Amino acid sequence: MWLRIWKSISDAVRSLATVVERSEFANWGVDCLVGHVTIPQVRIARHRAGQRTSTRPVFRGRFREDSGRTVLDGRFAYPWTTRLLLMASVAVLAVFVLALAILGIAVLAANGRRDATFWMAVVALMLSVTLAAALSRVTQPFEREDIAWISERVQASMALPNNRIHSAAFGRG
């Protein structure tokens, strides 16, 4: 994300820091930006009122000067804990699917016909794949909404109409 700012670096840091809360627990019942804002490091996430989730996108960046203008440079990413959780979930799902497929094949080979155990394995296999797809679809809109929500608040904190966020912040540029 590139955000060109028509302020000094210290003014830009101060403007953004005033809208970013340090603790989400102190603001549990309020939708707000939480994180840390300094010149060399900006880390901002959205806190949803009454919720705590590790699967939210986080903006990581820094302030710098470019041709006499202040620039907030960075990108949205997931914390390493979220990526680790995702990889572990995929691994568990893959092992579960493989075990169900082997069970179905073993039952079919042992009996020579499809009995209740075979069909239970097939149903469980389809249910696990459907559950994984549903969870993925349910969480994606929140991610896109969070990125737009964070971007709007960051732009508003700078309070200038010329400030714009470059499309590279969203992984498209």
3-state secondary structure the chain: CEEEECCCHHHHHHHHHCCEECCCCCCCCCCEEEEEECCCCEEEEEECCCCCCCCCCEEEEEEEEECCEEEEEEEEECCHHHHHHHHHHHHHHHHHHHHHHHHHHHHHHHHCCCCHHHHHHHHHHHHHHHHHHHHHHHHHHHHHHHHHHHHHHHHHHHCCCCCCECHHHHCCC
Does this model's pTM top 0.75? My answer is: no
* Within-domain flag for 128: yes
Residues 11 and 62 in one domain: yes
* Within-domain flag for 18: yes
* Within-domain flag for 125: yes
For the ranges 10-19, 64-73, 125-134, which has the lowest average pLDDT?
Answer: 125-134
* Within-domain flag for 168: no
Q: How many Å apart are CA 140 and CA 52, to the nearest integer?
A: 17
- The per-residue pLDDT for 5 is 66
- The per-residue pLDDT for 6 is 61
Q: Is the pLDDT of residue 12 over 80?
A: yes
* Within-domain flag for 166: no
- The per-residue pLDDT for 54 is 66
Residues 110 and 151 in one domain: no
Residues 75 and 38 in one domain: yes
Q: Which domain holds residue 133?
A: 81-137
Residues 107 and 131 in one domain: yes
**Number of domains comprising the chain:** 2
Percent of the chain scored above 70 by pLDDT?
Answer: 81
Average the pLDDT over 3-29 and give the result.
Answer: 80
Number of neighbouring beta carbons within 10 Å of residue 32: 18
* Within-domain flag for 167: no
Residues 155 and 75 in one domain: yes
Residues 49 and 117 in one domain: no
Residues 70 and 6 in one domain: yes
With bands split at pLDDT 50, 70 and 90, how would you rate the model's confidence at 44? very high
Q: What digits encode the pLDDT tens for the residues 101-154?
A: 787 788 778 877 777 877 877 788 788 778 777 776 766 656 678 888 888 888
Residues 6 and 58 in one domain: yes
Residues 73 and 155 in one domain: yes
